[in-house]
Every structure is written in C-alpha cells, then in structure tokens.
Amino acid sequence: MSFAERMLKIDRRIIFVVIALCTLLPLLYPVGLPIKISQEVRGVYDHIESLPERSVILLSLDFDPASKPELYPQAVAILRHAFKKNLRVVAMTLWVSGTGMADELLTKVANESGKQRGADYVFLGWSPGGTAVIINMGQDLYNAFPSDYGSKPTKGQPVLEGVNSLKDVTYAVSLGAGNPGVEAWYVFGKDKYKFELGGGCTGVMAPGLYPLLRSGQINGLIGGLRGAAEYESLIGQKGRAVAGMDAQSATHVAIIVLVALCNMFYFTLRRQARQQGSQS
Amino acid sequence: MIFLRRQMPLLITMITGLIFAGQYYVPHPASEQLLTSATKWLQIIGGFALVLGVTSLFQVHAAKIRRKEAGWGYSMVLYAGMLGTMAVGWWANGKESVEGVSTAFGWVYNFMMVPLQGTMFAILAFFIASAAYRSFRARSREAAVLLIAAVIVMMGRVPLGEYLVPISGDISQWILNVLNASVRRAILIGVSLGAVALSFKIIFGVERSYLGGGKE
C-alpha cells in the first residue's frame, strides 16, 4: 500500500483528535481576531436601534437545546440590545422542548439588565399548534395565550398595554432552528399582519433564508455563531459567540486543510493508476 | 357507512378548503372571526396530536419489549425516561422553576436533556470532518465547482479565513447573496407551485391518500 493510499484510509480517530484540539486550544488561548460586520446582521441591529423607547419587540425563540451553541448567544445579544434600548419584550417559543431554556435565558438577561417581568417583558411560553399559533396571535394575542408561562393572565399586564395582536408588534425576530421558524413567521405572520420581521438561524440553515432576505421579506438575518459574534460586537458586549469564533475559525481551517490533503492524495493515486494503465 | 368514511371527509375537506382559501382575501370581521375560531381549533387539535403521538410511541415500544425484539433494552430505557420525566413533570406542575428555584422537572431538563441534545449536535462536527476528508473529492467538474465554492464560503465565514485570504469574505457573500439566493428561489417557486397543485388535488378529492386505509 502506497503512502497516499494509507493516508486516504487514515484512522478517523486521528481526525477526531485534530478537530478536538482545534476546538479546545483556541478556547483556552483565545486570539481574538477582528470580526467583520455583515449587512444581514446590521439589518437587525439597525432596526432595533431605530425603534423608539417602549416599542414592542416580539422575540420567538424557536429552537431547542440541540441548537443552543449557535442560537442562545444570538438571543442573549438581541435581548441585551432590546433592554438597553428600553423596549418592551414579548418572548415566546414554538418549540416545546425549548421552553425551559427560553425562560431561563430571558430571566437571566432581564435580571442582569434590571428589568421586571410583567412590566418590561413577558414570556408567553409555548402553545400547541405550530404555525396555527402564529395566525391565532395575529387574530387575537390573548386568545392564543390567555396566560403567560407563569400562569399569570396576559390581559392587563403593563408590558402588553396596547397590544392586541401581531399587528401591534413593532418588530418581530424569530430565532429558528428549523420548522416552525423564520419562514413560518413570514408566511403565516408578516405576510398577513404586516409587521417588520428579522431572523436568526443556525449556520447550516442560513443559505436557505437568503431568498427571504434579498426580497426584503425579512430585513436582517443573523446566521449561526458568526452572526451572534457580529451582533455581540455591534452592541459592544462580547460574550460566548465572540469567544467561540476562534474555535470555529480553527476548525474551519482544519477541515479545509483535511479536504485539500484528501484531494492531493486522491489525485496522486489517480495519476499513479493512469501511469500504470499506460505502461501495461 | 361508506358515505361517512369516504364522501363525508371529502366533502368537509372541499368545503373548508374553499372557504379558507377565499377567507384570506376577505377582510370582513365575520371572516376574521372564522379564522380566529379555526386556528383555535387547530391549537386544540395540536394538543390532541401530542397525546396521540405519545400513545403511539408507547404502543410501538411495548410491542418491542413484549416480543423481546433486537434492541428491546433501549425501549426499556425510553419507557423509564418518559415515565420518569412525566412523573416529575406532573409533580412540578409542568414548571421548570418556581420563583427562580429549579424544580425536579427543571433539573431533568437542565442537566439531562440540554447536555444530551447538545452532545448529540456537537458530535456532528467530528463526523462532518471525518466524512469531508473521506468523500469531499473533486471526482468530476461539478464536484470540483462544489468543492471550490465550499472552501471559499468556509474561509469567508470565519475571521481567520478572512485574515488569511481577505477577499474570501466578499466572494463568500457574493456566492450566498447571488448564486445561492437565485437557485434557492427557483427551488422555492417550484415547491410552492407543487404545494398549490397538491392543495387543489386534495380540495377537489383527486388526492385521497390522507384518508388512509384504501379499502372500501
């Protein structure tokens, strides 16, 4: 067996070790390379920045713990920005398995910003029905969520003053890890009830949402950990996402090097096979 | 009986399908009220679907355990996990925390479900790297184009990539904004037209597989 053949059949545990080191070392010894801000992320940031105080922002945390590494920092950054701007935050989730995590993150950021539940923010929780919940909220928010996550009646809460349906929401952001997520919020929400919509998603999903972005159906898109890092840089509060970018940089470069090596060995073998073929 | 089993559901589907297709274009309060009621029903039906799903899962795994099929031990783990979570969930009244203090249900969620799901997702990075090394080869021109595009986007999406090849960020954005968006849009239009056609087929009773069975 030639060297190229042996390298192509390399034990996958070696690759695992390379990836593990590329993830671990930058986390232990961060480099802190500068992060360029994209227009997509700036779209969400600029819109929130332009909102007057006490405007209502709806944040739909449509993800579960599997997507926590990418979407949790996005949610934290948006919440910090919204609370800093003194906006009223209405949070909810369309994913039942994300309910506890959404409540925990909202409470954490609200406490850190000195905001009060019921007055400055509310967590509506989860309701069955998927996309039907969006339509129902568009028709009558109190019908879709008669009580919040803490079983407190939603009607009469100061944070929801003047809000009867999605039509009264100034800006909505869906942080989605699948369906229902950003696309569902556009199709069943924005299209009919005419509110401005922004999106956030995992890195894998981002290319699929570019058509919505380019046509103005969403006014901004925060894609994956990179998007979260950009948002953290914009609000000037660097957190988990910025810390994770070095690790992501190293793993991306490692995968590129691995792919380049694999192709180099592949072409070496192919050339050898051709030469042997022409000799015989 | 055949009327109740066949014609009746088809009739309900056709009438409600046509009404709600038209409802979108009628902003009259009565029409809006109709939509409010229907979506509320959908939410309630969604709740029942959850019960149905759990029941079905229990039945499938009960059969596996009874027949001692291959991997029946995993079914036992599933039973233990589900029953245990349901028990603590009922005990905690479905709340993960009460006044900032985590309940037993919250403990199960935060210290079992969150790390387990996170681990499953994190493992993907290792398998993707291994799979990329083994199979991401420029075997043909099309594969070579895909490979080059992937490498540029991977470089352009991370600060180190942009630092090493400064132009990779702009090229990556162009690939995503122009090439990717136009192709995705074409696929979306195709899928949407297909969905419209399928909706018409269901409304007018041409497509009946959703009725199940097949026996008259």
Write the CA distances from A83 to A32, A41, A109, A204, B10, integer angstroms: 27, 18, 9, 29, 51
Q: Tokens 């609370």 identify what position?
A: A83
Q: Cβ contact (<8 Å) for A129 and B43? A: yes
Considering only CB atoms, which chain B residues are within 8 Å of A180? none
Closest CA to A209 of A231, A187, A230: A187
Closest residue on chain A to B120 (Cα): A66
Q: What are phi and psi of A201, to 5 degrees?
A: -155, 175
**B137 with A263: Cβ contact below 8 A:** yes
Which of A107, A252, A261 to mutate: most B Cβ within 10 Å? A252
- The label of the residue with tokens 């509320």 reads B40
> Nearest CB to A19: which of B126, B136, B163?
B126
| CB burial of residue A113 (10 Å; 0-12, 13-18, 19+) | middle
Which residues on A lie below 8 Å from B129 (Cβ)?
A: 15-16, 18-19, 251, 254-255, 258
Q: Are A171 and A57 in contact (CB under 8 A)?
A: yes
B121 & B178 share domain: no
Q: Is residue B103 part of a domain?
A: yes
Cα A63 → chain centroid: 9
And the tokens for B117? 């799901």
Residues B183 and B150 in one domain: yes
- Does B3 reside within a domain? no
- The answer to whether A17 faces chain B, any CB pair under 8 Å, is no
pLDDT at B216: 45
Q: Which pTM does this prediction carry? A: 0.88
User: What is the gyration radius of the CA atoms in chain A, in angstroms?
Assistant: 23
A99·B96 Cβ contact <8 A: yes
Same-domain status, B123 and B147? no
Residues from chain A that touch B120, judged by Cβ atoms under 8 A, are 66
pLDDT at B46: 83
Give the residue on A whose Cα is nearest the Cα of B149.
A256
Based on the fold, state whether residues B100 and B153 are members of the same structural domain.
no
A92, HSE (Cβ side, Cα atoms, 13 Å): 25
Q: How far apart are CA A216 and CA A194, in angstroms?
A: 13
Same domain, B203 and B144: yes
Shared domain for B151 and B192, answered yes or no, is yes
Nearest Cα of chain B lies from the Cα of A53 at a distance, in angstroms, of 28
Out of B114, B135, B156, a domain closes at B135
H or E element in which residue A262 lies: helix A240-279
| Nearest of B158, B155, B150, B154 to residue B179 by alpha carbon | B150
Nearest neighbour of B42 by CB, restricted to A132, A208, A215: A132
Are residues A261 and B42, on separate chains, in Cβ contact within 8 Å? Answer: no
Residues B177 and B199 in one domain: yes
Question: What ipTM does the predicted assembly reach?
Answer: 0.84
Is the residue at B27 inside a domain? no
How far is residue A2's CA from residue A8's CA, in Å, rounded to a whole number?
Answer: 10
Please state, as a whole number, how many other Cβ atoms lie within 10 Å of the Cβ of residue B102: 18
Across the interface, which of B43, B126, B150 has its CB nearest the CB of A128? B43
A258/B113 CB distance under 8 A: no
B104, part of any domain: yes
Identify the pLDDT of residue B213.
Answer: 64
Cβ contacts of A18 on chain B, cutoff 8 Å: 129
Per CB-CB distance under 8 Å, the chain B contacts of A36 are 159, 162, 169
Edge-to-edge strand list for the sheet holding A196-201? A121-126, A88-93, A56-62, A171-176, A196-201, A221-223
Helix (H), strand (E), coil (C) string for chain B = CHHHHHHHHHHHHHHHHHHHHHHCCCCCHHHHHHHHHHHHHHHHHHHHHHHHHHHHHHHHHHHHHHCCCCCHHHHHHHHHHHHHHHHHHHHCCCCCEECCEECHHHHHHHHHHHHHHHHHHHHHHHHHHHHHHHHCCCCCHHHHHHHHHHHHHHHHCCHHHHHHCCCHHHHHHHHHHHHHHHHHHHHHHHHHHHHHHHHHHHHCCCCCHHHCCCCC
* Same domain for B199 and B145: yes
Question: What's the total number of domains in chain B?
Answer: 2
- Give me the residues of chain B with pLDDT under 50, please: 216
Instruction: For residue A58, report the phi and psi dihedrals to the nearest 5 degrees.
Output: -100, 125
The 3 state secondary structure assigned to A182-233 is HHHHHHHHHHHHCCEEEEEECCCCHHHHHHHHHCCCCCCEEEHHHHHHHHHH
In a domain, B52, yes or no: no
d(CA B134, CA A29) in angstroms, rounded, equals 30
* Closest partner CB to B39 (pick from A136, A203, A251): A136
Residue of B154, B118, B161 lying closest to B136 (CA atoms)? B154
| Residue A214 CB contacts under 8 Å (≥ 6 apart), including other chains | B177, B181, B185
Name residues 101-120 of chain A within 8 A of B (Cβ). 101, 103-104, 107
Phi-psi region for residue A54, left (φ > 0), alpha (ψ -120 to 50) or beta? left
Q: Give B174's contacts in chain A (Cβ within 8 Å).
A: none
Write out the E strands in A130-192. 171-176
Residue located via tokens 């969930």: B89
From first CA to last CA, the distance across chain A in angstroms is 19
Residue B151 lies in a domain: yes
For B7-66, what is each residue's pLDDT tens digit?
Answer: 899 999 999 999 999 998 998 889 988 988 888 888 888 888 888 999 999 999 999 999
Residues B126 and B143 reside in one and the same domain: no
A262–B43 C-beta distance less than 8 A: no
Question: Domain range holding B121?
Answer: 94-135
Question: Is A165 an 8 Å CB contact of chain B?
Answer: no
Which residue, of B74, B106, B135, is where some domain finishes?
B135
On chain A, the residues whose CB falls within 8 A of the CB of B139 are: 266
C-beta separation of A177 from A71 below 8 A: yes
Q: At what angle do helices B8-23 and B29-66 cross, to 10 degrees?
A: 130
Do B46 and A18 count as a contact with CB atoms less than 8 A apart?
no
CA B91 to chain centre: 30
Which of B78, B110, B135 lies at the terminal end of a domain, its last residue? B135
pLDDT means per 10 residues, chain A with 280 residues, are 85 94 92 90 97 96 92 96 97 93 93 95 92 91 92 94 95 95 93 93 92 92 95 92 92 94 92 84
Asked if A207 lies within 8 A of B176 by C-beta distance, the reply is yes
CB A246 within 8 A of CB A35: no
> Do the Cβ atoms of A220 and A74 come closer than 8 Å?
no
Cβ–Cβ contact A237 with B under 8 A: no
φ, ψ of residue B140 in degrees (nearest 5): -140, 175
Spell out which residues of chain A touch residue B113, defining contact as CB-CB under 8 Å: 65, 97
Residues of B in contact with A140 (CB under 8 A): 36
**Closest residue on chain B to A208 (Cα):** B184
CA distance A58 to A160: 11
Residue B39 included in any domain = no
Clarify whether residues B196 and B177 are in a common domain.
yes
- Interchain contact A214–B (C-beta under 8 A): yes
Domain assignment present for residue B172? The answer is: yes
Q: How many CB atoms lie within 10 A of CB A230?
A: 25
Same domain, residue pair B147 and B194? yes
Is A133 within 8 Å of chain B by CB? yes
Burial class (CB in 10 A: 0-12, 13-18, 19+), A13: exposed
